[in-house]
Amino acid sequence: MHISEGILSVPVLASGALLATAGIAIGVRKMPVEATPKTAMLSAVFFVASLIHIPFGPSNVHLILNGLAGILLGWTIFPALVVALFLQAVLFQFGGVTVLGVNTLIMSLPGVVVYYLFRFSCGCTRKRKTLFAMGIVLGALAVCLSGALLTVVLALGGKPFLSVAGAIVVAHIPVMIADGLVTGAALVFVLKVRPGLLWQSLSVNGL
């Protein structure tokens, strides 16, 4: 879901950068020192998972996992993903530096939304089936919300992209399913081996 360079207007780029900067500032403020390894790990997971791209119009389709990152990181997803997106832009020309703020916002904000939904729905559950089901729903929802934000941003880019925006969301339906399954399985695995990772994010990221 990376938006490429040269598509968006300066006001849209500036607005995205401003909102992303605010999210990064909140994320850094809420990130305790002991959470640094977890943040770095999930940044790397996002970086690797989204390396395989299938071009689709002005964007692309790939595994995202921002739902998983959001559940485990909360607001800290912003600084985690901006690093991954910056490295992808510099090393592989995925997205771009000028659209870094917009891409960070598109990927990170749904993760924060999913974090709060997880927190208020089953944040303290230790039932694996419940956690797996919620992981599927929230993982898919995060991708869906990113697609919705992408649609809005592309619509702001002008009429030439309006027809493409809806098609991009449809193209991400398989990604929603895959992300949901991976997120559910990952949460069950974390519950089994390091349950503290789940509860730690819930205790430090709430506003």
Query: Which residue segments constitute the domains of the chain, with CATH numbers given?
Result: 10-204 (1.10.1760.20)
Query: Which tokens in the block code for residue 108?
Result: 């990170």
CB 119 within 8 A of CB 36: no
**Rounded distance between C-alpha atoms, residue 185 and residue 129, angstroms:** 10
pLDDT at 159: 55
**Rounded distance between C-alpha atoms, residue 171 and residue 61, angstroms:** 7
**Rounded distance between C-alpha atoms, residue 186 and residue 191, angstroms:** 9
pLDDT at 29: 92
pLDDT at 109: 96
pLDDT at 80: 94
Query: Which tokens in the block code for residue 161?
Result: 């992209």
pLDDT at 81: 94
- pTM listed for this prediction: 0.86
The rounded average pLDDT for each run of 10 residues, N- to C-terminus, in the chain (207 residues) is 80 93 94 86 85 60 86 93 91 85 95 92 75 93 90 74 67 83 92 77 58
Query: Which tokens in the block code for residue 159?
Result: 């009429």
